[in-house]
Structure 1
Amino acid sequence: MASARPRLSLIYLLPLWLLSTLAAAEERYREVEISAPYIELQTGPGRAFPSIHAVGRGEWVEVLKRRTDWFKLRTHKGVEGWVHLDQLSGNLDQQGEPLRLDAPRLDDFSRRRWEAGLLGGYFEGAALLSAYGGFALSQNLSAELAFSHALGDVSSQLMADINLVAQPFPEWRISPFFTIGTGLIHTRPRSTLVQSEDRTDQTANVGLGARLYLGRRFMLRGEYKNRLVFTSRDDNEEYSEWKLGIAFFF
């Protein structure tokens, strides 16, 4: 595997600038105008929860989140509650068009809160398997936790990363993103010819990629990362990583 001295380049500076800019962006929610005589807000996402508030015709509500067929709303007076899809569907969106909420759409993809996925690829020529989960801090910025296992002929690596992901165009069906993060890598030599010990080192990484919305709650995700490993030796190590896989959001 190749080694390189630590160096500062534009590929490390650009994501830092982009993330600091996007972190200040405020989260926007979809607004809905009630065209039915009224809808009833409940305390939880289920028919067994009691009703706490009635929203009348002509009032506007914000859609905060979705859980299966239930939606959490907030009125302009700050009252929050849950309604079933049957009550919310057919009311008016911000363009005055009836809402169609029978299945997740591209707009739900751009406003997702949680996502998770399984990806495969290569880590400096070694086969790589990675699983991740992410939470949206805003439409443009999310935090992710990832675990990866690379299995090569000479050694195997176990990696754990915490990343920030910037998505400048969340409304696009093919949505590019940039990542920056840190983590740990545990290297276990597989060769019996050379005596060497397991080691654990800190890493930093930057990368870019894209999500492709496939439909309903599924997306295709591909990404490239440049990973720098801070070793106890004079030279640090630099690796390239490619991944592609399927993810879902909720």
Structure 2
Amino acid sequence: MKKLSKLFAVILAAAFSFIPSLSAFAEDGPQVRVASDFINIHLGPAVETPVFYVAEKDEWMVLKNRRTGWFKVQTENGVEGWISENELVFTLDGEGNPVTYNPSLVKNFITNISK
């Protein structure tokens, strides 16, 4: 029985080693949480590019980059893609406040979101 418990502990530890660390996730950029039912994540920064992943309500994303009205994001499970800047109104910052986006303040936007 003890051998079985030790084996289970080793397997469990190995399984958790493959789960991305939230602390490493948080250091990559400002985090936002999906507040709507879902947000579509595209392969590229354009409406014409396919949606390949759907981030669900309460899923966390890191804003990594911005390009012509789109933000490159990474989900907490490592999926990277692009969301329209219009989708940011459907997210919350790290303190649970709605994210507001002002295109004229884009230079400071990413650094001013609460982590």
Task: Give the aligned partner of residue 86 of structure 1.
Answer: 86
Structure with bigger strand share is: 1
Quote how far apart the aligned CAs of 1:105 are: 5.5
Could you tell me which of 105, 108, 113 is aligned with 1:106? 108
SS at match of 1:89: helix
| Aligned AA (2:59) | E
**Gapped runs of 5+ residues in structure 1?**
1-26, 112-250
Identity over the aligned pairs, expressed in percent?
30
Quote how far apart the aligned CAs of 1:87 are: 1.4
Task: Give the aligned partner of residue 67 of structure 1.
Answer: 67
Find runs of 4+ consecutive structure 1 residues off by over 2 angstroms: 105-108
Give CA deviations for 1:30-79 in whole Å, capped at 9, x if unaligned: 00010010001000000110000000001101111111210011111111
| Aligned AA (1:96) | G
Q: Which has the higher relative contact order, 1 or 2, with Cα contacts under 8 A spaced 6 or more apart?
A: 2
Pairing of 1:3-42 with structure 2 (within 5 A): 28-42=28-42
Alpha carbon RMSD of aligned pairs, Å?
Answer: 1.8
Name which one, 1 or 2, has greater alpha-carbon Rg: 1
Pairing of 1:1-250 with structure 2 (within 5 A): 28-103=28-103, 104=106, 106-108=108-110, 110=111
Structure with bigger helix share is: 2
Quote how far apart the aligned CAs of 1:96 are: 0.8
| Aligned AA (2:31) | E
Q: Contact 1:60 / 1:75 at 8 angstroms: preserved in 2?
A: yes
How many residue pairs were aligned? 84
SS at match of 1:41: strand
Give the stretch that moved more between structures: 84-93 or 67-76: 84-93
Distance 1:53 1:35 in 2: 16
TM-score (ref. length: structure 1): 0.32
